[in-house]
């Protein structure tokens, strides 16, 4: 653990003690993530390839035996929120507290003997930027309770419980990628995850060693229709699978794509969605084999293809995301694409170390010239998954 993360953990523990009058039983951290490739595949039983950010949600937690849950976030205005575990109910809470409370609910629903907790957290994961601040929050709570209650659950099991918390308790129909990334990623690696059976493989992804960098550009916009559009895309993919007689679009092989599109006849929108998902799964497999054969620079064009597919077939990009990608490529980037759900959020840019400063500047200038809000640009180093820090 670096000195700075230990200092953060100590500060969070101290604040816990001020709030609750006793020291926590431990401090845990769980990261946000960016997805390198594999977008909108996770609810189609397909492949994804996220890596963990250095940005984390850090939580100091203590057990309680009296059926009470108390929650506090350094990043929210409100004071300590208090719940009785027996009162926790799906979709009863529209506040941020639904994420941690949902995890407690999901653990208890699954039969785990959680009898209460006091929790204080602080997060450096930007919220609502497509970098999974919500999963970081869920996973840090799940891991803390897993340790404190000696539940013995593995990372992928915690991820499933966190997804259930978000789907059922919070009421957001998200896939399994974000929680698994936060729980299971490893430093210097991207996580090749099969979302059907949660089998996973750590793929070495150490850009600095090869003279490259990966920038995240948070556009700082979230277009208001994003949630409704996510639901429509999901429904369209399910319709495609039903029309093709498969459980999920994952089951349409890449070399059977033309035949599948033919079968969909004049279902123009469904055809586009199917084409994105099937080609995107194949792009993930291509990126895995390029990285495994040490041909890292060659993933650049695959990222660009992925962006074009999300823009033209899946139709979830927006002017801000397209501007990042176009500007970065025009300034010498090896590859760039939007990442996350779309309609705002973040894009990633793969570039030679020597080009990074010029690309960041060009993107900032292009945003200013277009009259867009200034983006937040930072470098993403593949970092550790969830862990205990104190
Ligand atoms: P993303 O996961 O892409 O950041 P979401 O909309 O899924 O965006 O999750 C963002 C929500 O997570 C926030 O609205 C808030 O409820 C919760 N959240 C994120 N970070 C924090 C934090 N530091 N403290 C409390 N709640 C947080
Ligand atoms: Mg989220």
Residue 3: per-residue pLDDT: 61
Spacing of C-alpha 278 from chain mean position: 21
Which SS3 state, helix, strand or coil, does residue 263 take? helix
**Ligand 1 site, residue 341, Cβ cutoff 6 A:** no
With cut-offs at 50, 70 and 90, classify the pLDDT of residue 4: confident
Dmax (CA) for the chain in angstroms is 66
Residues 323-346: what's their mean pLDDT? 97
- Ligand closest to the CA atom of residue 101: 1
Residue 73: per-residue pLDDT: 98
Contact 150, 95 (CB under 8 A): no
Instruction: Give the position of tokens 């600095």.
Output: 208
Residues 250-277: what's their mean pLDDT? 98
Q: Is the pLDDT of residue 294 over 90?
A: yes
Tokens of 236: 């369209």
Nearest to 100 by CA among 170, 53, 174, 14: 170
User: Phi and psi (nearest 5°) for 311?
Assistant: -75, -45
Which SS3 state, helix, strand or coil, does residue 67 take? coil
Lowest mean per-residue pLDDT among 226-230, 308-312, 350-354, 367-371: 226-230
Residue 316: per-residue pLDDT: 97
**Ligand 1 site, residue 97, Cβ cutoff 6 A:** no
Tokens of 318: 């927006």
Residue 310: per-residue pLDDT: 98
Nearest CA to ligand 1 atom 15: 96
Indicate which residues carry an active-site annotation: 178
The 10s digit of each residue's pLDDT in 50-59 is 999 999 999 9
Average pLDDT, whole number, for the chain?
A: 97
- 247 labelled binding-site residue: no
Residue 65: per-residue pLDDT: 98
- The per-residue b/e assignment along 272-305, b for 16 or more CB within 10 angstroms, e otherwise, is bbbbbbbbbbbbbebbbebbeeeebebbbebbbb
Q: Is the pLDDT of residue 112 over 80?
A: yes
CA pair distance 81, 13, nearest whole angstrom: 18
With cut-offs at 50, 70 and 90, classify the pLDDT of residue 2: low
CA pair distance 362, 31, nearest whole angstrom: 29
- Ligand 1 centre to CA of 88 (Å) is 19
- 39 labelled binding-site residue: yes
CA pair distance 216, 356, nearest whole angstrom: 11
Instruction: Name every residue whose Cβ is closer than 8 Å to that of residue 290 and which is 6 or more positions away in sequence.
Output: 296, 298, 299, 302
Q: Is the pLDDT of residue 60 over 90?
A: yes
CA pair distance 114, 104, nearest whole angstrom: 7
Residue 226: per-residue pLDDT: 80
Residues 253-276: what's their mean pLDDT? 98
Residue 5: per-residue pLDDT: 82
Tokens of 82: 């208090």
State the sign of the Cα–Cα–Cα–Cα dihedral 378, 380, 385, 387.
negative
Residues 259-287: what's their mean pLDDT? 98
DSSP type of residue 373: P
Tokens of 217: 């550009």
- Percent of the chain whose predicted confidence (pLDDT) is above 70: 99
Cα→Cα distances 319→223, 276, 326, 327, 372, Å: 11, 20, 10, 12, 10
- Ligand 2 centre to CA of 18 (Å) is 29
Instruction: Give the position of tokens 């920038």.
Output: 215
**Ligand 1 site, residue 171, Cβ cutoff 6 A:** no
């Amino acid at each position: 653990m670096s000195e700075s993360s230990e200092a953060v953990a100590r500060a969070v523990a101290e604040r816990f003690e001020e709030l609750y009058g006793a020291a926590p039983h431990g401090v845990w951290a769980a990261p946000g993530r960016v997805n390198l490739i594999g977008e909108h595949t996770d609810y189609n039983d397909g492949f994804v390839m996220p890596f963990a950010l250095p940005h984390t949600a850090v939580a100091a937690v203590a057990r309680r035996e009296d059926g009470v849950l108390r929650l506090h976030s350094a990043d929210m205005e409100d004071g300590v929120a208090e719940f009785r575990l027996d009162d926790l109910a799906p979709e009863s809470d529209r506040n941020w507290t639904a994420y941690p409370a949902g995890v407690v609910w999901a653990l208890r629903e699954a039969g785990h003997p959680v009898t209460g907790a006091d929790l204080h957290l602080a997060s450096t994961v930007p919220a609502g930027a497509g970098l999974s601040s919500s999963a970081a929050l869920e996973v840090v709570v799940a891991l803390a309770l897993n340790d404190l209650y000696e539940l013995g659950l593995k990372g992928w099991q915690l991820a499933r419980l966190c997804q259930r918390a978000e789907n059922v308790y919070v009421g957001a129909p998200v896939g399994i990628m974000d929680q698994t990334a936060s729980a299971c990623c490893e430093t210097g690696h991207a996580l090749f995850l099969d979302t059907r059976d949660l089998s996973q493989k750590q793929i070495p992804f150490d850009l600095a060693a090869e003279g490259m960098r990966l920038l995240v550009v948070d556009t700082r916009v979230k277009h208001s229709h994003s949630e409704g559009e996510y639901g429509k895309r999901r429904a369209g993919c399910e319709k495609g699978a039903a029309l093709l007689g498969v459980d999920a679009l994952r089951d349409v092989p890449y070399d059977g794509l033309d035949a599948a599109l033919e079968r969909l006849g004049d279902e123009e929108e469904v055809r586009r969605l199917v084409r994105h998902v099937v080609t995107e799964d194949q792009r993930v497999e291509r990126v895995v084999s390029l990285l495994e054969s040490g041909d890292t620079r060659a993933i650049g064009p695959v990222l660009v293809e992925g962006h074009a597919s999300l823009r033209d077939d899946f139709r979830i990009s927006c002017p801000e995301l397209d501007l990042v990608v176009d500007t970065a490529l025009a300034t010498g980037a090896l590859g760039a694409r939007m990442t996350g759900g779309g309609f705002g959020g973040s894009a990633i840019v793969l570039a030679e170390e020597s080009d990074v400063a010029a690309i960041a500047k060009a993107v900032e200038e292009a945003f200013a010239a277009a009259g867009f809000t200034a983006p937040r640009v930072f470098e993403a180093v593949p970092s550790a998954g969830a862990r205990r820090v104190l």
